[in-house]
Amino acid sequence: MTPTLAEVAPRNRYRKVVALTGAGISAAAGLATFRGIGGLWTARPDLATAMESSLLPGNLPVLWDVWGGIRRQAIAAGPSPAHLALARAQVQIITQNVDGLHQDAGSRDVLELHGSAARDVCIEPGCYYVGDIDFTDEPEPGHIPACPACGGRLRPDVVLFGEPLDPDVWEASERAVREADLVLAIGTSAFVTPARWLIPIARRAGALCVNVNLDDDTPYEDDFDAHVVGDCQKTVPHWLTDD
């Protein structure tokens, strides 16, 4: 019988818990994962090309369509039980997701490796505007919002293919896992770099690293001390209550 998360890592034994989350934690909100069967890139391979930073600014309309649509869907669905459980536990969140659902759930300390679809940023040289997106009105297809600071073009503040992560966010993420005594990789196969590098960093620093996923099919399974197989919408809330 597969052990539960509470059996593998009883919550009351750990002082500093970090959750590294992926698309699987948001699937209950109806948000598609990006890879694999039914994933966004599988269903719409053209979108993967459209996310290339080298194609800016020509791909701005599709960026707004995809990422704006994801954030609107996230707002409509609301955070999942797993998001809410992690927020109640107030563990440190490092997320590969851009949907903003951890903040919607009430998590206060969220490091967003791939940026956020809830923010926009100006692409014009010399303008450093970054702001929260107003999702009150539904934009016309192909609409590109204007920067309130310079009148230029805005894009969703997400990390595109070919772009580096925010170095401050990455440094904070490395520091968080080094200080952790328990790291939970939730709803992710821990396949994508550089996020997957955080697991070996955590283990070298002495943390117990547990993969919590629908299956144990991860190409880097030896990176983890243990695997908990099951729906994170059940396993994570049970972990919170089964002290």
At 136-145, the pLDDT tens digits run: 888 788 889 9
Of 3.40.50.720, 3.40.50.1220, 3.30.70.270, 3.40.50.2300, which CATH number belongs to 5-241?
A: 3.40.50.1220
CB atoms within 10 A of CB 21: 29
pTM of the model: 0.90
Which residues 6+ apart lie within 8 Å of 107 measured at CB? Answer: 83, 86, 87, 90, 93
pLDDT value at position 137?
81
Residue ranges for the chain with pLDDT beneath 50: none
- The H or E element containing residue 34 is none
* Residues β-bridged to residue 182: 17, 208
Question: What are the start-end ranges of the H helices in 148-212?
Answer: 167-179, 198-204
**Residues annotated as catalytic (active site), given as ranges:** 114
User: For residues 104 and 83, what is the distance between their CA atoms, to the nearest angstrom?
Assistant: 9
Which residues 6+ apart lie within 8 Å of 158 measured at CB? Answer: 63, 67, 98, 114, 115, 116, 117
Structure tokens at 185: 């990789």
* Domain boundaries defined on the chain: 5-241
User: For residues 234 and 81, what is the distance between their CA atoms, to the nearest angstrom?
Assistant: 8
At 206-226, the pLDDT tens digits run: 999 999 988 665 555 578 999
Under 8 Å between Cβ of 109 and 93: yes
pLDDT value at position 65?
86
pLDDT value at position 129?
97
User: For residues 63 and 54, what is the distance between their CA atoms, to the nearest angstrom?
Assistant: 13
N residues, the chain: 243
